[in-house]
Amino acid sequence: METRHIIMLITVAIIAIIPLALYGGLGEDDGYFGGADGAAAEAVEETGYKPWFEPLWEPPSGEIESLFFSLQAAIGALIIGYFFGYYIGKGKKKDPITNLKYKTGDFE
């Protein structure tokens, strides 16, 4: 992994950490770190609108909700990891059609 990729990933982490530091000590009860989707739904309900259709099924608790969120991330990460691993492994062999070695060198 190149240094620039590591720097990019660290930047992503910093972007996530800044708000945590900025609003340190504040929680959902103070109106922080709630979902933007929920905030939009509240704004809609303030207009007096009543949703006409309920979700068919709702996760019964935050725990169950986090179960499905981690499942979603795990499915994605598994697929990405599988194909990246497959091609990096395959890259050490030759392409049967072109008989050329796959490039596995550094991007630069």
Told to check if 62 binds other proteins by CB under 8 A, we report no
Q: Is the dihedral of CA 29, 60, 36, 11 positive or negative?
A: positive
Tell me how far, at minimum, the Cβ of 30 lies from other proteins, in Å: 9
Taking CB under 8 A as the criterion, the residue among 19, 61, 63, 101 binding other proteins is: 19
Q: Per CB under 8 A, does 107 bind other proteins?
A: yes
Residue 8, burial from CB neighbour count under 10 angstroms (0-12, 13-18, 19+)? exposed
Q: DSSP assignment of 49-108, as one string? A: ---S---S---SSHHHHHHHHHHHHHHHHHHHHHHHHHHHHHTTSB-TTT--BPP-S---
Q: How is residue 51 written in tokens?
A: 């949703």
Q: Is 29 in the site for other proteins (CB under 8 A)?
A: no
Looking at residues 85 to 104 of the shown chain, list those that interact with other proteins (rule: CB under 8 A): 86-88, 91, 95, 102-104
How distant, in Å, are the alpha carbons of 75, 86, 97 from that of 83? 13, 5, 20
Out of 61, 63, 77, 93, the residue judged to bind other proteins by CB under 8 A: 77
Total number of residues binding other proteins (CB under 8 A)? 63
3-class SS of residue 42: helix
Q: Which of 24, 25, 51, 62 binds other proteins (CB under 8 A)?
A: 51
State the residues that interact with other proteins by CB under 8 A: 2, 5, 8-9, 11-12, 15-16, 18-20, 22-23, 26, 31-37, 39-41, 43-44, 47, 49, 51-59, 65, 68-73, 75-80, 83-84, 86-88, 91, 95, 102-107
